[in-house]
Chains A and B, each alone.
Chain A
């Protein structure tokens, strides 16, 4: 395929994937008897109609982008972190406990301290999964999912018990929440009358940091190498297990920071339901953003729009807000399916030849004697495939000590 052909081809794949995702959504919309076009119109345009809507999109994009960047770090390093939800909760707990305990500190000290505490909480929770994977070969998808459930229970326990606002007990309403944060821990609101807060700058700043880390430092180089082909990285002297743990620590730290920023900027106290599925949406954002900060920022805005729009569909189109989960799931399936068409030369070749056949043109002749230039499709590793590999790794690696097992006779694929 020539350059234009390739561009058109990729565009066609993207359009087809988008159509497939919206099609799956449409089936569900039809099943609830909604006006499909109206529902999509509400989701995609309604939030854009006023200032509140626009700022609320950004308010949602802040935690989403932070979580997604953490997930991108993990995915790029070859570990699928599904546990952002739990890591975020642990971050919230650590951050709010710190803010409440150190209420007397001045603002310029307390805010960074509270955010770092959130990062530490999330990192600790993520690190557990990382260490389990590195040491014992525990499948990180399963362990992070389980850690989500555990964190959710732990969160509730603290909010209903030790961390509960004493006033709730006195007045007797019993809402599980902490006391209000001290004012010195609040992130500033940027626009009066909206919830837009200075966490935006934190997210943007960290996006630059993530880019520099992954693509401009030797640490990031090693992390990406470990993620792209763990075996080769190990052969080149990279301590793959160590970088796995590091990646999970960082990934958890980002989710924890997302929680801290959300609490300090929006809710100003730890309440139930803060995470609200951000951990899972973050996965979609990370994938949609191509696991790169420059893609993740716009993707987080898009999904902020989607989340907000879905909240509005209940009122305006009589579609439950859970609809957004359907769309997210469909988008994941569409993205991972489309990747195959975009990155695999064999599939592209098949499609090109099918097209050529359809238009009765002879297939493009291969350059003579080009046997040398055989692109090996198994090599078109993209970070997502790596994630998959690690998912698989566990199939063989549950309990297998990867340090000893990975370089072993196990042949990858066949020749």
Chain B
């Protein structure tokens, strides 16, 4: 504040290095007044880094930032706020155990009296902003009690309260249902008449719907710039990935299963969540051998608890989980593993691998006590090394050597290590949670192919994902989870984004 409004903002030759990575490579970008600029690219293309530089969170190694043609230097986000730039981060920057007002006050320096926090002024400002932009929020609510959609709103209000006229939105729709996404987009369209917006996304239909111009980033470089209306999503996708990508699709044929007892059979499962609530309230699902069932739903509706309960990581209150006839409910993680369950967990860095362990150690993590890898309690180092060599080849794990710490590999290769371990065990069923989150398209394609190959070998696969595209491409049937229960199961070939979106929002009949 106290600065003239931004009529033009220009980034020139911005370069930022991280160890081993050139995150931004001489990027030029300019944004005018009252326009929406989409910044598109795959994960790791450098979009977020670039915007963090604009916010003063990172210092660029080279390059300049110009506002209205004059050089500026942002040493901290405060400098960016002063110029009226604000950012809604992909992962909400909200302190969970504070109220909405306190979260806003944190950034609102005008409320910081020397010995007193002027929370009343903050509350007033919040109400002003939320009224003006039709963004209802309760200033006194504790953040952790709010839903994801509400938190998203709080983030917007917070940014506007701090005086932002130039708004950066980093993948703002990633946690929203299709309907919530539509609402947000129409809201942003309204706001664009008085604000400038940079919209970061890799969802191309949103880009089409919202933006005037689009810039595509690939591996730290701007590879394309142009007006959005002149290009189809397919064009943009090809530009984003650098090649035509045709992700594999399931050929579910005519075999409409369902109802028949499956290889993996879940009946009336009840499981408590972390806060003692019933996170799963009577989930039933049958997965036949050679079938992929996709579990769609807004995150936080019990997906995590289901995956954990299936794998013996969360106690089951009631109900049953049967894998090939064996009861898993009440068993330990070790029991479930021994029964032949494979699991690709959500957080690959802390759940899937032990990062400081070598690749070869991680590849035998689950069966280290078994006869194959140990004899009389002592490790069979030779066998472990041979196993690693073979799997490295088979799954195309790119690592300097199998003695390298697994945590130092890229996300895609870490996922391949996990996949190799799980699939080499010859599982009867596989639970895959967000298996391609944050990976580039090459790795995504590889993993999809592997899942489909397992399907044709007769493995029962539960695919949990928040990418509807992924679920629709791979699933024989799609189950929609809402508030801890399966709302509906639909055949994969009949599903549309719209119908799934409604189900995800809890609307069962249409």
Contacts and interface: CB of A to CB of B under 8 A. Distances in A.
Q: In the complex, is A directly touching B at CB under 8 Å?
A: yes
Interface of A: 212, 216-219, 221-222, 224-225, 228-229, 231-239, 345-346, 348-349, 353, 363, 365-376, 378-382, 404-405, 407-412, 414-415
Contact of A376 (B91, B338, B352, B407): B407
Interface in B341-378: 343, 345, 347, 349-357, 361, 365-366, 368-369, 373-374, 377-378
Contacts of B366: 236-237
B216 to A, nearest CB: 15
A53 to B, nearest CB: 40
Contacts of B354: 225, 228-229, 232-233
A346 B19 contact: yes
30 contacts: A217-B377, A225-B354, A229-B353, A229-B355, A232-B355, A236-B366, A237-B312, A237-B336, A237-B338, A238-B334, A239-B332, A239-B334, A346-B19, A348-B19, A363-B61, A366-B17, A370-B22, A371-B22, A371-B46, A371-B219, A371-B220, A374-B18, A374-B21, A374-B44, A379-B356, A380-B405, A381-B407, A404-B314, A414-B91, A415-B438
B236 interface: no
Nearest to B355: A379
Given A222-B369, A237-B336, 11 more contacts: A229-B350, A229-B356, A231-B350, A236-B337, A348-B19, A371-B219, A372-B413, A373-B410, A375-B20, A378-B349, A412-B349
A219 B377 contact: yes
Nearest to B304: A409
Interface in B124-176: none
Given A379-B405, A379-B407, A407-B313, A349 B374 contact: no
Contacts of A363: 17, 61
B412 A380 contact: no
Contacts of A229: 350, 353-357
Contacts of B44: 371-372, 374
B192 interface: no
A412 B379 contact: no
B365 A232 contact: yes
Contact of A235 (B19, B313, B411): B313
Contacts of A221: 361, 368, 379
Contact of A217 (B274, B355, B378): B378
Contacts of A345: 19-20
A331 B256 CA distance: 68
Nearest to A218: B374
Given A218-B377, A376-B407, A379-B407, A235 B351 contact: yes
B289 interface: no
B350 A370 contact: no
B333 interface: yes
B221 to A, nearest CB: 10
Contacts of B365: 225, 232-233, 236
Given A366-B17, A369-B219, A375-B20, A234 B374 contact: no
B408 to A, nearest CB: 5
B97 to A, nearest CB: 12
Interface string B468-483: 0000000000000000
Contacts of B411: 374
Contact of A412 (B61, B312, B350): B350
Q: Which of A225, A234, A372 has the most CB of B within 10 A?
A: A372
B147 to A, nearest CB: 14
B314 to A, nearest CB: 7
Interface string B308-329: 1001111100000000000000
A232 B351 contact: yes
Contacts of A374: 18, 20-21, 44, 410-411
A410 B354 CA distance: 18
Contacts of A222: 368-369
